[in-house]
Chain A
Amino acid sequence: MRLSKAWILTRKEFAVFRRKKYILYSLIALPLLLSLLLPATVFFSGAASEMSRAELGQILSSEVMIFVMLAAILPTVIGAYSIIGEKVEKSLEPLLATPATDGELLLGKSLAAFVPSVGATYAAIALFTGFVDANTSSRFGYVLFPDWSTAVVVFLTVPLACLFSVQFSVIVSSRVNDIRAAQQLGGLVVIPLVGIYAVAEAGVVSLDPFGLLVISAILLAADAALTVLSRRTFRREEILTRWK
């Protein structure tokens, strides 16, 4: 499998995305909203002044988990278009007729959903942490971010959650013919992450570095399973004859 061949496809996908406003807006608006709105609701609600430093720090730290969800949501927007868009526009057959292997095509499509999603999530995390530090460093006497939990989220949990969503989108795309239906089905991928966040907010589990490492390990196992499944789904013959 040649990465260079997959990258040609990825770059073509980027060129198409640049023309698709709803993809651009999704990549910009949602991360921007989350990175500023989340801390703003804490700072400007009035509750922040009544919280201890430890409470405020815990709330803001746990909000980093929201960006794991963001990393899982964004590929559902892009991945669904990337594959179902081609199905709808009937441009898959010429692509499948090229000498690229099934693996190269799948990798190219996956990178096209993965790279911008992770990039936008990283930008959002940078904005979020910068905004929080700017508003808390004088009160705390130190900067809250970066910390070990954020490091685990950035380097492990976000990419793994994103990969999970990308592979899930590939599988969903093989079963539906409508981009919106695929996006809605793809959205199911966030449910377990929302569950983890809710449980953490309730104080049942801790989103400390160890807790995040455990979550990342589970995601890694799930990614491996989904990658095998999506690889089985993304075959020329399957796509041309069995995909809906």
Chain B
Amino acid sequence: MGAAIESEGLTKRFGGTTAVSGLTFSVEEGEVFGFLGPNGAGKTTTVRMLACLVSKTSGRATICGRSIDDKREQPEIRRSVGLLPENVGLYEELSAYANLDFFGKMYDCPDAKRREGMERLLKALGVWERRDQLTGTFSKGMKQKVAIARALLHDPQVVFLDEPTANLDPESAKTTRDFILELKKEGRTVFLNTHNLDEAQRLCDRIAILKTSLVAVGSPGELRASLWGRKTVLHLVKATQAAAAAVRGLGFEKVAEVGGDRLVVDVADPDADNPAIVEAVVRAGGEVRFVTELRPTLEDVYLRLVRKAEGAP
């Protein structure tokens, strides 16, 4: 599989203000790529550049191999991209069906394919029964579902979702997240702008943290490991000095006793290191109840990286 999105040094300035600076990253086909960042970090501007809605100031980017700079390619890029903006922006005086029908025509979907697509998507999102009602009468969750259907109706290869679960009730948010996972199963590339770290952790293969420029890119696990390394926690009946010394004796220098019943060990590769550690502790008389990995949350990772980017100590 190749790269669905490639960006190299992508920069956007509005007058004297730099909205986005020097973004270099790539998103593989079929990947769910999370874009995290505080308000004003440049997430929406990045999506708008990639969707050919605003021009870049410098750098280059391609969508499905097509350059966003090439004016002749831009309509084709827009056709290959589905966009769910932060504000759903439905025509509230039109029904859900009429909204989709209009956008399907604007994307040049043939009649039969458009009708089939509208039925499939509205049924999948649970809006089919209300398809003839004006979207102005819909709840936020229902509007969001119609907007998701609109973004997918023309069968795009790349889908940009800007805060897709913001302001949704838990049930609608879950439906939306499940649908994003379905998109991944279908092999679509999903570019997910979100503030919701839990959502990013659950859905994304890789995450980029943005604060005007890229702060970090990697899988949630890689980002955690890059900041904290990996830590094995041995839950013991009683944490003893002898057990800690036995672990240090294996060459693991960072060993901490916590709460009198745990040993926290910095490891390079838990799969390879844990059996030896457990064996050494047992030989030193330690009674191991169970072993876990200490996992800082994505929120910890995010906050540390963003504060670092802001220059905090």
Q: Considering the complex, which residues of chain A in the window 2-18 have a beta carbon less than 8 Å from any beta carbon of chain B?
A: 5, 8-9, 12, 15-16
Contact with A along B85-101 (1 / 0, CB 8 A): 10111111110001000
Contact assessment for B93 and A93 in the assembled complex, using a CB-CB cutoff below 8 Å: no
Contact assessment for B108 and A99 in the assembled complex, using a CB-CB cutoff below 8 Å: yes
Contact assessment for A97 and B79 in the assembled complex, using a CB-CB cutoff below 8 Å: no
Q: Which residues of B contact A237 (CB under 8 A)?
A: 53-55
Contact assessment for B76 and A240 in the assembled complex, using a CB-CB cutoff below 8 Å: no
Question: Within the complex, which residue of A15, A20, A96, A98 is in contact with B107, where a contact is CB–CB below 8 Å?
Answer: A98
| In the assembled complex, A95 has its CB within 8 A of some CB on chain B | yes
Stretch at the interface among A84-92, A184-192, A213-221, A222-230: A84-92
Q: Which residues of B contact A19 (CB under 8 A)?
A: 93-94, 134
Q: Which residues of B contact A195 (CB under 8 A)?
A: none
Question: Within the complex, which residue of B79, B90, B150 is in contact with A99, where a contact is CB–CB below 8 Å?
Answer: B79
Chain A residue with minimal CB distance to B83?
Answer: A97
| In the assembled complex, B285 has its CB within 8 A of some CB on chain A | no
Give Cα distance in the complex from A10 to B108, angstroms.
16
Give Cα distance in the complex from A19 to B99, angstroms.
14
A52 CB to closest chain B CB, in angstroms? 53
Give Cα distance in the complex from A93 to B89, angstroms.
7
Contact assessment for B108 and A15 in the assembled complex, using a CB-CB cutoff below 8 Å: no
If A96-B53, A240-B54 touch, whether A91 touches B91 (CB-CB below 8 Å) is yes
Give Cα distance in the complex from A236 to B53, angstroms.
6
| In the assembled complex, A45 has its CB within 8 A of some CB on chain B | no
| In the assembled complex, A101 has its CB within 8 A of some CB on chain B | yes
If A12-B91, A12-B94, A93-B87 touch, whether A241 touches B14 (CB-CB below 8 Å) is yes
A160 CB to closest chain B CB, in angstroms? 30
| In the assembled complex, A100 has its CB within 8 A of some CB on chain B | yes
Contact with B along A167-192 (1 / 0, CB 8 A): 00000000000000000000000000
Give Cα distance in the complex from A92 to B54, angstroms.
14
| Interface range for A | 20 to 34
Chain B residue with minimal CB distance to A108?
Answer: B106
| In the assembled complex, B105 has its CB within 8 A of some CB on chain A | yes
Contact assessment for B98 and A15 in the assembled complex, using a CB-CB cutoff below 8 Å: yes
If A94-B83, A101-B75 touch, whether A241 touches B54 (CB-CB below 8 Å) is yes
Give Cα distance in the complex from A212 to B94, angstroms.
42
Question: Within the complex, which residue of A94, A98, A241 is in contact with B89, where a contact is CB–CB below 8 Å?
Answer: A94
Contact assessment for B76 and A91 in the assembled complex, using a CB-CB cutoff below 8 Å: no
Contact assessment for A8 and B54 in the assembled complex, using a CB-CB cutoff below 8 Å: no
Q: Which residues of B contact A12 (CB under 8 A)?
A: 91, 94, 98, 102
Q: Which residues of A contact B75 (CB under 8 A)?
A: 99-101
Chain B residue with minimal CB distance to A8?
Answer: B105
**Residue among A8, A91, A94, A95 having the largest count of chain B Cβ atoms under 10 Å:** A94
Give Cα distance in the complex from A241 to B15, angstroms.
11
A10 CB to closest chain B CB, in angstroms? 11
Q: Which residues of A contact B76 (CB under 8 A)?
A: 99
Give Cα distance in the complex from A16 to B102, angstroms.
12
| In the assembled complex, B103 has its CB within 8 A of some CB on chain A | yes
If A5-B106, A8-B102, A9-B106 touch, whether A94 touches B85 (CB-CB below 8 Å) is yes
Chain A residue with minimal CB distance to B77?
Answer: A99
Contact assessment for A97 and B81 in the assembled complex, using a CB-CB cutoff below 8 Å: yes
Q: Which residues of B contact A101 (CB under 8 A)?
A: 75
Give Cα distance in the complex from A19 to B137, angstroms.
14
Q: Considering the complex, which residues of chain B in the window 62-93 have a beta carbon less than 8 Å from any beta carbon of chain A?
A: 75-76, 78-79, 81, 83, 85, 87-93
Question: Within the complex, which residue of A15, A20, A93, A100 is in contact with B53, where a contact is CB–CB below 8 Å?
Answer: A93
Contact assessment for B106 and A93 in the assembled complex, using a CB-CB cutoff below 8 Å: no
Contact assessment for B53 and A240 in the assembled complex, using a CB-CB cutoff below 8 Å: yes
Contact assessment for B89 and A91 in the assembled complex, using a CB-CB cutoff below 8 Å: yes
Q: Which residues of A contact B106 (CB under 8 A)?
A: 5, 8-9, 95, 98-100
| In the assembled complex, B48 has its CB within 8 A of some CB on chain A | yes
Contact assessment for B91 and A16 in the assembled complex, using a CB-CB cutoff below 8 Å: yes
Q: Which residues of B contact A15 (CB under 8 A)?
A: 93-94, 98
Give Cα distance in the complex from A236 to B78, angstroms.
13
Question: Within the complex, which residue of A8, A9, A16, A96 is in contact with B93, where a contact is CB–CB below 8 Å?
Answer: A16
Instruction: Enumerate 5 A-B pairs (CB-CB under 8 Å) in ascending A order.
Output: A5-B106, A15-B94, A97-B53, A98-B78, A99-B79
Give 17 new A-B contacts, CB below 8 A, not counting A94-B147, A237-B55: A8-B106, A12-B102, A15-B93, A90-B87, A90-B89, A93-B53, A94-B103, A94-B150, A95-B89, A95-B106, A97-B78, A98-B78, A98-B106, A101-B75, A237-B54, A240-B54, A241-B14
Chain A interface residues (CB < 8 Å from chain B): 5, 8-9, 12, 15-16, 19-20, 89-101, 236-237, 240-241
Chain B interface residues (CB < 8 Å from chain A): 14, 48, 51-55, 75-76, 78-79, 81, 83, 85, 87-94, 98, 102-103, 105-108, 134, 147, 150
